[in-house]
Structure 1
Amino acid sequence: MSTDDGPSEPEEEGLDVTDGDGSVRERLEEETDRAVERFDDGVVDLLSWVLDTETRARIYVYLRQHPDSTSDEVAEGTGLYPSTVREALAELHGEDRVSRRKRESDGAGNNPYEYTAIAPSELVSNIAGDVQSELNTVFNLDDHLGDGGGESTDGADEPVTITVEESEQ
């Protein structure tokens, strides 16, 4: 003999909204978080090559997400040591990969610098120039080494030109 204690929850055909491990929404959110983390790690890996170190890449990504941040804010947001962040920011600023300005404050005291990372398109343009210069050096290595005796039949005497154009979207 069965008793009906009241209305049961509606079941959607083919979709179990909850199960023993939690809701479908929670699992989707967890998977999305994992995918974003993997994507962020991939971006950091690529930027590590471009910016020389993972530390500098993490700082660049943080500043793209949080422009006008102080070194202390970057350290807190990235989990890096404050001294490491200050040193890397000084290098990135010296290479024109981040800009900085004094934070305006009404009170007396220290006004820290706020940092903002340059746009990725500018970063790529700068890198293209560096790669172009290095390729020119490699292709003209004989001239740089003073060994002009070999004949070049592949046009290596001509400079390498790399052009980066912005896409129109």
Structure 2
Amino acid sequence: MSEDTTDDVEGDDQSPRERLGEEKERAVAGFDQGVVDILSWVLDTETRARIFVYLRQHPWSTSEEVADGTGLYPSTVREALAELADEDVVERRKRQSEGAGNNPYEYTAIAPSELVGGVVGRVQDELNTVFNLDAHLGDDSEPENTDQPVRIEVEEADDGGDER
């Protein structure tokens, strides 16, 4: 029996470059989903996270472009964009066009570092509320401590490699 059994093994007819390309696509998809999962926690919903990621990749897009690019319903995108604009997570401006007619709004997402700053403040406030829970509940057995025991600082990474 000198039959070659390599035909039975899946993927052997692909070049190494093709296999690497497929692995890269799978890794990127997994990474993207991980980013969306984290942003879903930060931004409250997966819908808002997907919109944020899309706008980081495609700044100054209209709600229609965001809906097309994310696969979300246009009405859902419009509602989420309005909320995100109210929360200063996205910036909004009127699209300028040469012709007459309706100029739609276009949106871009703030930098992730700005987004983290807002989240840190929210988390810090919530942790301090927990630490000072007895004071808030009126429990007099412990001395009242209205200090802010939790302080979270976020520093931007130094891309230049200089130590600070």
TM-score by length of 1: 0.82
RMSD: 1.6
**Paired AA for residue 165 in structure 1:** E
Equivalent residue runs for 1:39-58 within 5 Å = 39-58=31-50
Conservation of the 8 A alpha-carbon contact between 1:139 and 1:157:
no
**Partners of 1:21 and 1:150 in 2: CA distance:** 75
Match of 2:16 in 1: 24
Shift of the alpha carbon at 1:88? 0.6
- 1:104-139, Cα deviation, whole Å (9 max, x unpaired): 011111111110000000000010111111112111
For residue 22 of structure 1, give the secondary structure of its aligned residue in structure 2: coil
Match of 2:153 in 1: 163
**Partners of 1:156 and 1:89 in 2: CA distance:** 40
**Partners of 1:20 and 1:156 in 2: CA distance:** 68
Pairs aligned (count): 148
Q: Which has the larger radius of gyration?
A: 1
Conservation of the 8 A alpha-carbon contact between 2:55 and 2:66:
yes
Equivalent residue runs for 1:82-97 within 5 Å = 82-97=74-89
Sequence identity, in percent? 72
Match of 2:111 in 1: 119
Equivalent residue runs for 1:2-151 within 5 Å = 20-147=12-139, 149-151=140-142
**Partners of 2:12 and 2:147 in 1: CA distance:** 68
Structure 2: 5+ residue stretches without partners:
1-10, 160-164
For residue 92 of structure 2, give the secondary structure of its aligned residue in structure 1: strand
TM-score by length of 2: 0.85
Conservation of the 8 A alpha-carbon contact between 2:134 and 2:142:
no
Structure 1: 5+ residue stretches without partners:
1-18
